[in-house]
């Protein structure tokens, strides 16, 4: 994969799945992490009482792992936001957190902005075949009460991942190039494995030795060839889809009028900002005094232009947000899911973000030691773009 | 005792010396023979090796020196005599007539525009015309015109007086007479500079004979945007862009026939810079530089030359021009030259630039004679290596190129060094802000804005284009404006009275002036506000001269409209302004000096002499550093007695506390308030400044069999032998080979170690003096005996020392054979490989940075350059400072340098440090950043971008905190903060948005 030189080499072992119950084996592993005191608590998606969705839960009592689902096919809240809250002040002991790849990448971004502190956190990244909108999942459950959580892993072993009949993955998942986690302390691998028989467990960096000792794991170098192949297959397909989506979007926004038109149905609810894991400001500048105008001001503007759109500051809101965080955007698509007007925010940020990221040779979420472009200034950067050549 | 000083010469060196003295609290006269300060630097286009615009970096200094409360500029004046003794000098200064009353003139320039007489413009080297009465250049300080009596029509014919007629303030005075001022000062600094070699004396190059032969300084003017062609590079004969340019080095330098045997030290880099800048102007241009040696001996110089070669297609041809012919029809030049291989080439060029050298100027020599200080045989001031800023007369110091050609940073360093020495002579100093009694400030809280607007006519400068009454009428109707009026000259004294009266009568609490530039005039209006009890930050300045009447001269209506817009914009901005106050910081009047070598000891003694407590930390058990291995200077002065004396002085000085065998464990804090823990002892020192004098080391060669064969030694080892008991062994030598650039100018260390050429020559001469018999070969790439060192290169050749040039690609080959040591080197002139069997091979090992620099740079948050030396705030004008206030650098920690340069820089660092320590408190800027804590997420992005280290993270509260005293108000943090938690006082978002709306 391009540009992933910063990703650490991990060591791996295979966990055998008993009775073809992948989820149970995963829970057992998580339980062992808690019982062995490797972690004091676990943050992991848990089934809602109604059975029609999942929500991240902080578990202190390992018996409560019963409803935990580390492979939950929905993402109600971006966990990087939760981590930001969870790690805002020092605490004793270690917390293990189960994260989807995009959540892990967002968390790493937030480490750079000192909004997440992973010092006492063990990140457990889980392969992600793709997620569904929360509403879609609830509907699926309503239709099929017996729906097995493992059914969502279908096709993962050979890389033929397809959404459930009659549904689609969330749009951002369809074009996601990162189905596997980068740089988790522990990675749970499902792609390229027969998950009814085995799960891949990978450990790297700071906890490698401790994990190997505590769980008497025999860790080997690297991935299996088949897993590599399957990952590449999935990534390739999604990359193709991504290019298609982005190219179509480019057509839709390639001149300023079209761009404005695309965003014209925005109702300025700021949902995209509220759910974004990267938008970390305590209070958005758009909610500050700067954008509170005097009544007379509105009338002045209206006077000057004949008519003005109300409420104002919709386009500038998106542009400002884009300029603030497009370099760090991990493409989790929470903005799309939250948008009541179905604006293509995520792909728009992906379009701009990927060009910016390329310009700065930056991959968000790759490595916490990498400085984000917004806080780095080099005298010789962007010369071509600045028009000096 | 007179605690005043005089600086003679207002070039960059004199300006820096005067500013430093002023900052130390010494009242200083800056005497300049010309009408404006600025010197030669004001005529340069760009400066090497950063390609900063010379005027852009100089003009802030001009403004500063022109407005400094402790500096009095005496322009158009020269010193007649100096009597008395140190601390009690009486100086006679002849002030020549300008024919303009300096007190009355407002610098509006109307006389200049009306004067009917055109003369060649000396600022543009005669390449364009100016008026007989003229302001020398737009940024001139003082910005007062001078009349050229020789060409003035009234003075010649008794008729005209046009300038007088148009001057609204009656400043023209045809009867002005010479005046002799008698001034009393305690010390004097000579900074009269040098002059360019007269290229007409070398008529073989066709200067003044052929139109397309120009000197390097004329070429600077051609390149300059403010020059005769507005920066359009054209050749003089036909105004066409040249395609092929030849630059000839060493015209009037390194030529005994021309009377100058010295090297002019700056021309190689100037030529490289001109080639680069020309190619930026004309991408297709091809430049060839004809040189003898490329003397790129300074920081970043070699990289700069490489850039000229590789990125800017500049050919460097080692050879001399034999003859120049000009085609009478095309004015194209046919140049015949001889390459180093001895081949004669003929090539056509469109333009020939003669890199004219620097030589002692007539006025410098006059000044030296009148002040009775000694010059050397060439006419440069005589100085001793160990006393580089002292002249032969006690109490009289020198800096800049009066004592030998040098570039801007060297001149600036010497200037700060001379200022330090001059101040040390005057003893304990106490810089006090000149305090004026201001009335109680009005409390404007809860009071609606009452804006007063004053529109300047600037004589007819603004009013002839902008309809000033119309602007006044317009703004008087704007909301918040309670008073609007026009002024003939807003800056005139009586205008200040008018403004004050209006503030009082109408109860104004915010003021807008629409006139010229805030850069020169804002502080004056702010003072007027203060005198009326109005906070000086409740003031806005609109520039309706440069931005309206000047640029839209032909469109008066549009100019008037724009003047209204700009004034309205300022009115809105001032309505949203708030009173601001300057934070102050107490200063702990003690210094920490890291490193007890020559630099550290020198700086320590200078500061101690000015009565500051010094903590001197040395990691070894004895003082002296590298000086312990330098036994003599190039001039032959012995260093041991000097070292001994320094050691004793440092040891017995009660104000210097020595910490031997000690290292820095931790440094925290900021200017005025540093805290350092040493090891040992583990106690904390509090100090106000830090001087880094951590030195450098000799490179340990890995090449040329060093360490494998006893006959291979380094230059330092040879010097130890030459000055030790092994001397007899040396007298039996038959053949000695020296190899230059060992560990320097290679791929790993791209820089020149600066001192090795001189060291090799010094030791080679010593060997020859010991015993003239042995053959001594010096294998070199370029001999870099810059400046006055050149004469020793000459004398080495005269003593029969053989110099052989080699290329980086074809280094000498050293091996052992049956005859012992064998050195093979390709001689380019003979085009043959020479095989030499030396019985001593001496490697000129370069200087490498102290490996501990890295740690120190982290402690003090100051940067290192790519080579590992400390990187100063500005390579030209702030050579010993850092962006972080209160930290200074000198000696080898900064870059390789010789003894004299080290001492000058150490004294400079001490002088700069004294400008801080002489103050009880440091006053911060008023317009500083502030954090709105409730919005701050503590992400730290602002901490990273602040070059002044003014922001810290409060890890407990998870917010950033700004030290207002360190903030310079640049706004980088405010621009970086995604949460808009940082705003800049005086430029708050709200203020800017409202002002934008008003446009």
User: Are A172 and A211 in a shared domain?
Assistant: yes
User: Are A77 and A175 in a shared domain?
Assistant: yes
Under an 8 A CB cutoff, do A113 and B976 touch?
Answer: no
Per-residue pLDDT, A387: 43
Quick check: B790 and B263 in contact, CB under 8 A? yes
Per-residue pLDDT, A3: 38
- Which of B572, B939, B984 would best serve as a mutation to test chain A binding (most A beta carbons within 10 A)? B939
Question: Looking at beta carbons, which residues of chain A come within 8 Å of B978?
Answer: 281, 324-325, 374
Question: Looking at beta carbons, which residues of chain B come within 8 Å of A371?
Answer: 944
Judged against a pLDDT cut of 60, whether residue A166 lies above it is answered with: yes
Per-residue pLDDT, B2: 65
Question: Looking at beta carbons, which residues of chain A come within 8 Å of B979?
Answer: 280-283, 285
Judged against a pLDDT cut of 90, whether residue A382 lies above it is answered with: no
Judged against a pLDDT cut of 90, whether residue A375 lies above it is answered with: no
Confidence of residue B734 (pLDDT cuts 50, 70, 90): very high
Per-residue pLDDT, B598: 97
Which residue in the set B945, B958, B989 is minimally distant from A290, CB to CB? Answer: B989
Per-residue pLDDT, A142: 92
In the structure encoding, which two tokens stand for residue B328, read together?
């009478």
| DSSP codes, B807-836 | -SSS--EEEEETTEEEEEEEETTTTEEEEE
Does A257 map to a domain?
Answer: no
Q: Looking at chain B, which residue has its C-alpha nearest residue A374?
A: B976
Per-residue pLDDT, B430: 57
Judged against a pLDDT cut of 80, whether residue B684 lies above it is answered with: yes
When pLDDT is averaged across residues B770-788 and rounded to a whole number, the result is 94
Per-residue pLDDT, A346: 94
Q: What are the CA-CA distances from residue B474 to residues A50, B461, B480, B541, B567 (Å)?
A: 71, 20, 13, 17, 10
Interchain CB contact of A377 with B (< 8 Å)? yes
Q: At what angle do helices B556-575 and B468-476 cross, to 10 degrees?
A: 30
Determine the structural domain holding residue A296 and report its residue range: 264-379
When pLDDT is averaged across residues A77-87 and rounded to a whole number, the result is 95
Q: What is the dihedral of CA B181, B183, B189, B191, to 10 degrees?
A: -10
Neighbouring CB atoms inside 10 A of A319's CB total 13
**What's the pLDDT tens digit per position in B23-44?**
998 999 999 999 999 999 999 9
**What's the pLDDT tens digit per position in B454-466?**
999 988 889 989 9
Judged against a pLDDT cut of 60, whether residue B758 lies above it is answered with: yes
In the structure encoding, which two tokens stand for residue B845, read together?
């090992």
Measured in whole angstroms, the distance separating CA B156 from the mean position of its chain's CA atoms is: 41
Per-residue pLDDT, B459: 81
Confidence of residue B1 (pLDDT cuts 50, 70, 90): low
| DSSP codes, B20-83 | HHHHTT-EEEEE-SSSSB-GGGGG-SEETTTTEEHHHHHHHHHHHHHH-TTEEEE-SEEEEEEE
**What's the pLDDT tens digit per position in A333-365?**
999 999 999 999 999 999 999 889 988 889 999
User: Are A232 and A271 in a shared domain?
Assistant: no
Count the helix, strand and coil residues of chain A and give each as a percent rounded to the nearest 5: 40, 10, 45
Helices first, then strands: H and E counts in chain A = 14, 8
In the structure encoding, which two tokens stand for residue B285, read together?
């241009």
Would strands B244-251 and B286-291 be described as parallel, antiparallel, or unpaired? parallel
User: Are A203 and A320 in a shared domain?
Assistant: no
Per-residue pLDDT, A6: 41
**What's the pLDDT tens digit per position in B183-204?**
999 999 999 999 999 999 988 9
**What's the pLDDT tens digit per position in A202-224?**
887 788 888 888 877 777 766 67
Per-residue pLDDT, B138: 86
**What's the pLDDT tens digit per position in B558-576?**
999 999 999 999 999 999 9
Judged against a pLDDT cut of 70, whether residue B712 lies above it is answered with: yes
User: Are A177 and A283 in a shared domain?
Assistant: no
Under an 8 A CB cutoff, do A113 and B937 touch?
Answer: yes
What value does the mean pLDDT of chain B take?
93
Under an 8 A CB cutoff, do A115 and B941 touch?
Answer: no
Under an 8 A CB cutoff, do A282 and B979 touch?
Answer: yes
Which residue in the set B939, B978, B993 is minimally distant from A290, CB to CB? Answer: B993
| DSSP codes, A48-87 | -TTSS-EEEEEE-SGGGGGGB-TT-SB-SS-HHHHHHHHT
Question: Looking at beta carbons, which residues of chain B come within 8 Å of A300?
Answer: 997
Neighbouring CB atoms inside 10 A of B527's CB total 14
Judged against a pLDDT cut of 90, whether residue B714 lies above it is answered with: yes
User: Are A225 and A271 in a shared domain?
Assistant: no
Per-residue pLDDT, A1: 39
Judged against a pLDDT cut of 80, whether residue B12 lies above it is answered with: yes
In angstroms, the CA A59 to CA B671 distance is: 50
Does A111 map to a domain?
Answer: yes
**What's the pLDDT tens digit per position in B509-527?**
999 999 998 877 888 899 9
Interchain CB contact of A299 with B (< 8 Å)? no
Does A254 map to a domain?
Answer: no
Under an 8 A CB cutoff, do A281 and B935 touch?
Answer: yes
Helix (H, G, I), strand (E, B) or coil at B947: coil
Does A388 map to a domain?
Answer: no
Judged against a pLDDT cut of 60, whether residue B809 lies above it is answered with: yes
Which residue in the set B936, B953, B978 is minimally distant from A374, CB to CB? Answer: B978
Q: What does pTM read for this prediction?
A: 0.83
User: Are A227 and A283 in a shared domain?
Assistant: no
Question: Looking at beta carbons, which residues of chain A come within 8 Å of B989?
Answer: 290
When pLDDT is averaged across residues B220-229 and rounded to a whole number, the result is 92
Helix (H, G, I), strand (E, B) or coil at A125: strand
Per-residue pLDDT, A8: 52
Does A252 map to a domain?
Answer: no
Count of CB pairs separated by less than 8 Å, A with B: 56
Judged against a pLDDT cut of 90, whether residue A7 lies above it is answered with: no
> How many domains does chain A contain in total?
2
Question: Looking at beta carbons, which residues of chain B come within 8 Å of A324?
Answer: 978
Quick check: B269 and B298 in contact, CB under 8 A? yes
User: Are A292 and A178 in a shared domain?
Assistant: no
Per-residue pLDDT, A319: 93
In angstroms, the CA B842 to CA B947 distance is: 44
Under an 8 A CB cutoff, do A280 and B990 touch?
Answer: no
Measure B991 CA to nearest chain A CA, in Å: 10
| Among the listed residues B733, B701, B696, the one whose alpha carbon sits nearest the alpha carbon of residue B717 | B701
When pLDDT is averaged across residues A2-17 and rounded to a whole number, the result is 65
Out of A357-361, B328-332, B636-640, B662-666, which region has the weakest mean confidence (pLDDT)? A357-361
Does A248 map to a domain?
Answer: no
Q: What are the CA-CA distances from residue B208 to residues A283, B127, B198, B257, B325 (Å)?
A: 71, 12, 11, 20, 13
H helices of A184-314, in order, are 208-214, 225-253, 256-262, 271-275, 295-305
Measured in whole angstroms, the distance separating CA B758 from the mean position of its chain's CA atoms is: 25
User: Are A373 and A235 in a shared domain?
Assistant: no
Confidence of residue B402 (pLDDT cuts 50, 70, 90): very high
Between B405 and B990, the more confident residue is: B405
| Among the listed residues B165, B48, B62, the one whose alpha carbon sits nearest the alpha carbon of residue B111 | B165
Neighbouring CB atoms inside 10 A of B704's CB total 23
Judged against a pLDDT cut of 70, whether residue B155 lies above it is answered with: yes
Judged against a pLDDT cut of 70, whether residue B433 lies above it is answered with: no
User: Are A29 and A71 in a shared domain?
Assistant: yes
Under an 8 A CB cutoff, do B935 and A283 touch?
Answer: yes
Complex-level ipTM: 0.79
Please say which residue of A241, A256, A290 terminates a domain.
Answer: A241
Please say which residue of A226, A241, A256 terminates a domain.
Answer: A241
Per-residue pLDDT, B91: 97
In angstroms, the CA A128 to CA B858 distance is: 43
Q: Radius of gyration (Cα) for chain A, nearest Å?
A: 22
User: Are A177 and A219 in a shared domain?
Assistant: yes
Would strands B314-326 and B333-339 be described as parallel, antiparallel, or unpaired? antiparallel
When pLDDT is averaged across residues A171-178 and rounded to a whole number, the result is 94
Q: What is the dihedral of CA B498, B503, B506, B508, to 10 degrees?
A: 140
What chain B holds in terms of domains, given with CATH numbers, is 1-96+178-193+361-438 (3.50.50.60), 103-169 (no CATH), 195-359 (3.50.50.60), 451-575 (3.40.50), 586-695+855-922 (3.50.50.60), 698-848 (3.50.50.60), 925-998 (3.30.70.20)
Residue the block writes with tokens 């050229």? B148
Helix (H, G, I), strand (E, B) or coil at B204: helix
**What's the pLDDT tens digit per position in A15-65?**
899 888 999 999 999 999 999 999 999 999 999 999 999 999 999 999 999
Does A1 map to a domain?
Answer: no
Judged against a pLDDT cut of 50, whether residue B940 lies above it is answered with: yes
Q: Looking at chain B, which residue has its C-alpha nearest residue A375?
A: B941
**What's the pLDDT tens digit per position in B383-400?**
899 999 999 999 999 999
Per-residue pLDDT, B432: 56
Does A178 map to a domain?
Answer: yes
| Residue % of chain B over a pLDDT of 90 | 81
User: Are A230 and A310 in a shared domain?
Assistant: no
């Amino acid at each position: 994969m391009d540009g992933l030189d910063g990703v650490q080499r991990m060591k791996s072992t295979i966990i055998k799945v008993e009775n073809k119950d992948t989820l149970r084996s995963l829970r057992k592993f998580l339980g062992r992490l808690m019982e062995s005191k490797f972690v004091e608590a676990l943050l992991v998606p848990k089934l809602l009482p109604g059975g029609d969705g999942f929500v991240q839960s902080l578990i202190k009592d390992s018996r409560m792992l019963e409803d935990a689902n580390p492979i939950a096919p929905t993402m109600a809240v971006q966990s990087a936001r939760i981590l930001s809250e969870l790690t805002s002040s020092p605490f004793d002991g270690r917390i293990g957190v189960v994260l989807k790849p995009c959540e892990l990448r967002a968390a790493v971004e937030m480490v750079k902005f000192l909004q997440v502190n992973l010092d006492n956190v063990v990140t457990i990244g889980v392969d992600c075949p793709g997620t569904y909108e929360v509403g879609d999942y609830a509907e699926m459950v309503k239709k099929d009460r017996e729906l097995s959580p493992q059914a969502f892993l279908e096709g993962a072993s050979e890389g033929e991942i397809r959404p459930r009949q009659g549904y689609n993955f969330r749009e951002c998942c369809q074009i996601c190039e990162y189905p596997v986690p980068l740089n988790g302390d522990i990675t749970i691998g499902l792609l390229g494995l027969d998950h009814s028989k085995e799960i891949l467990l990978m450990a790297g960096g700071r906890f490698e030795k401790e994990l190997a000792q505590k769980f008497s794991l025999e860790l080997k170098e690297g991935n299996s060839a088949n897993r590599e192949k399957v990952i590449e297959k999935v990534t390739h397909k999604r990359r193709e889809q991504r290019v298609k989506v982005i190219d179509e979007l480019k057509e839709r926004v390639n001149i300023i009028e079209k761009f404005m038109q695309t965003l014209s149905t925005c109702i300025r609810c700021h949902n995209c900002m509220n759910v974004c894991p990267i938008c970390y400001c305590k209070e958005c500048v758009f909610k500050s005094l700067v954008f509170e105008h005097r009544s007379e001001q509105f009338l002045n503007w209206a006077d000057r232009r004949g008519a003005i759109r109300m409420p104002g500051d919709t386009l500038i809101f998106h542009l400002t947000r884009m300029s603030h965080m497009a370099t760090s955007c991990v493409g989790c698509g929470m903005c799309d899911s939250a948008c009541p007007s179905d604006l293509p925010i995520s792909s728009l940020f992906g379009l701009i973000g990927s060009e910016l990221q390329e310009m700065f040779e930056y991959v968000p979420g790759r490595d916490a030691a990498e400085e984000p472009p917004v806080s780095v200034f080099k005298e010789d950067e962007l010369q071509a773009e600045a028009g000096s050549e | 005792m007179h605690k005043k000083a005089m600086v003679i010469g207002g070039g960059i060196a004199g300006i820096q010396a005067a500013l430093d003295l002023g900052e130390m609290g010494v009242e200083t006269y800056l005497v300049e023979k010309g009408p404006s300060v600025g010197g030669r630097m004001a005529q340069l286009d760009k400066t090497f090796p950063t390609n900063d615009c010379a005027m852009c970096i100089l003009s802030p200094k001009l403004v500063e020196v022109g407005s400094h409360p402790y500096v009095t500029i005496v322009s158009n004046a020269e010193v007649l005599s100096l009597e008395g003794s140190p601390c009690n000098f009486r100086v006679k200064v002849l002030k020549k007539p300008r024919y303009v009353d300096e007190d009355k003139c407002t610098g509006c320039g109307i006389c200049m525009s009306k004067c009917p007489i055109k003369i060649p413009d000396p600022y543009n080297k005669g390449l364009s015309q100016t008026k007989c009465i003229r302001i020398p250049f737009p940024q001139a300080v003082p910005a007062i015109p001078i009349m050229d009596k020789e060409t003035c029509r009234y003075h010649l014919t008794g008729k005209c007086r046009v300038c007088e007629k148009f001057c609204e303030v009656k400043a023209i005075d045809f009867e002005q007479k010479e005046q002799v001022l008698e001034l009393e000062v305690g010390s004097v600094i000579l900074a009269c500079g040098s002059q360019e070699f007269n290229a007409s004396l070398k008529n073989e190059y066709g200067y003044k004979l052929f139109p397309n032969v120009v000197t390097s300084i004329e070429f600077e003017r051609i390149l300059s945007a403010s020059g005769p062609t507005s920066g359009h590079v054209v050749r003089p004969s036909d105004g066409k862009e040249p395609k092929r340019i030849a630059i000839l080095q060493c015209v009037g330098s390194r030529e005994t026939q021309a009377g100058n045997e010295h090297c002019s030290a700056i021309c190689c880099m100037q030529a490289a810079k001109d080639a680069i800048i020309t190619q930026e102007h004309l991408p297709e241009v091809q430049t060839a530089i004809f040189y003898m040696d490329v003397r790129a001996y300074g920081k970043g110089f070699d990289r700069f030359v490489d850039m000229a070669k590789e990125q800017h297609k500049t050919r460097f041809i080692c050879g001399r021009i034999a003859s120049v012919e000009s085609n009478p029809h095309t004015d194209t030049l046919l140049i015949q030259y001889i390459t180093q291989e001895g081949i004669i080439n003929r090539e056509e060029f469109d333009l020939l630039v003669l890199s004219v050298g620097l030589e002692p100027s007539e006025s410098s020599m006059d000044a030296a004679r009148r002040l009775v200080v000694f010059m050397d045989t060439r006419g440069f001031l005589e100085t001793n290596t160990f006393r580089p800023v002292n002249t032969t007369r006690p109490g009289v110091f020198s800096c800049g190129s009066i004592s030998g050609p040098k570039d801007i940073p060297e001149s600036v360093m010497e200037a700060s060094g001379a200022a330090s020495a001059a101040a040390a002579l005057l003893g304990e100093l106490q810089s006090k802000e000149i305090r004026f009694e201001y009335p109680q400030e009005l409390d404007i809280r809860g009071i609606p804005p009452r804006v007063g607007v004053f529109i300047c006519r600037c004589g007819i400068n603004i009013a002839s284009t902008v309809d000033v009454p119309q602007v006044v009428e317009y703004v008087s109707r704007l909301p918040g404006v309670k008073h609007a009026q026009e002024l003939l000259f807003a800056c005139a004294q009586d205008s200040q009275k008018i403004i004050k009266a209006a503030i009082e009568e109408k109860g104004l609490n915010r003021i807008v002036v629409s006139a010229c530039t805030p850069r020169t005039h804002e502080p004056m209006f702010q003072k007027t506000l203060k005198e009326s009890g109005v906070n000086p930050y409740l003031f806005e300045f609109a520039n309706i001269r440069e931005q309206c009447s000047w640029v839209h001269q032909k469109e008066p209506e549009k100019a008037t409209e724009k003047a209204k817009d700009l004034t309205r914009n300022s009115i809105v901005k001032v309505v949203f302004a708030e009173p601001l106050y300057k934070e102050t910081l107490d200063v702990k009047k003690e210094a920490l000096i890291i490193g007890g070598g020559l630099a550290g000891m020198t700086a320590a003694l200078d500061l101690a002499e000015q009565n500051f407590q010094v903590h001197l930390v040395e990691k070894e058990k004895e003082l002296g550093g590298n000086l312990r291995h330098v036994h003599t200077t190039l001039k032959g002065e012995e260093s041991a007695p000097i070292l001994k004396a320094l050691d004793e002085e440092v040891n017995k000085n009660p104000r210097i506390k020595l910490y031997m065998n000690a290292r820095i464990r931790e440094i925290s804090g900021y200017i005025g308030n540093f805290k350092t823990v040493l090891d040992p002892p583990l106690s904390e020192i509090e100090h106000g400044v830090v001087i880094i004098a951590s030195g450098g080391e000799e490179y340990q060669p890995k090449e040329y069999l060093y360490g494998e064969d006893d006959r291979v030694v380094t230059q330092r080892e040879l010097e130890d032998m030459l000055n030790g008991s092994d001397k007899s062994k040396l007298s039996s030598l038959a053949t000695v080979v020296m190899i230059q650039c060992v560990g320097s100018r290679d791929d790993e260390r791209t820089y020149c170690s600066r001192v090795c050429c001189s060291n090799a020559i010094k030791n080679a001469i010593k060997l020859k003096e010991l015993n003239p018999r042995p053959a001594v070969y010096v294998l070199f790439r370029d001999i870099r005996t810059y400046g006055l060192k050149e004469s020793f290169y000459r004398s080495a050749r005269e003593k029969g020392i053989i110099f052989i040039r080699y290329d980086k690609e074809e280094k000498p080959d050293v091996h052992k054979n049956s005859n012992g040591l064998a050195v093979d080197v390709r001689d380019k002139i003979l085009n043959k490989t020479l095989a030499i069997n030396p019985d001593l091979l001496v490697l000129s090992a370069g200087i490498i940075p102290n490996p501990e620099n890295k740690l120190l740079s982290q402690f003090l948050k100051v940067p290192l350059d790519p080579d590992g030396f400390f990187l100063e705030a500005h390579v030209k004008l702030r050579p010993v400072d850092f962006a972080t206030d209160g930290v200074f650098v000198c000696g080898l920690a900064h870059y390789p340098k010789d003894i004299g340069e080290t001492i000058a820089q150490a004294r400079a660092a001490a002088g700069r440090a004294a400008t801080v320590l002489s103050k009880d408190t440091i006053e911060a800027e008023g317009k500083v950043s502030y954090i709105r804590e409730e919005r701050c997420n503590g992400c730290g992005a602002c901490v990273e971008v602040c070059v002044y280290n003014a922001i810290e993270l409060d890890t407990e509260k998870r917010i950033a905190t700004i030290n207002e005293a360190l903030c310079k108000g640049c706004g980088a943090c405010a621009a970086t903060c995604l949460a808009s938690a940082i705003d800049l006082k005086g430029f708050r978002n709200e203020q800017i948005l409202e002002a934008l709306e008003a446009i």
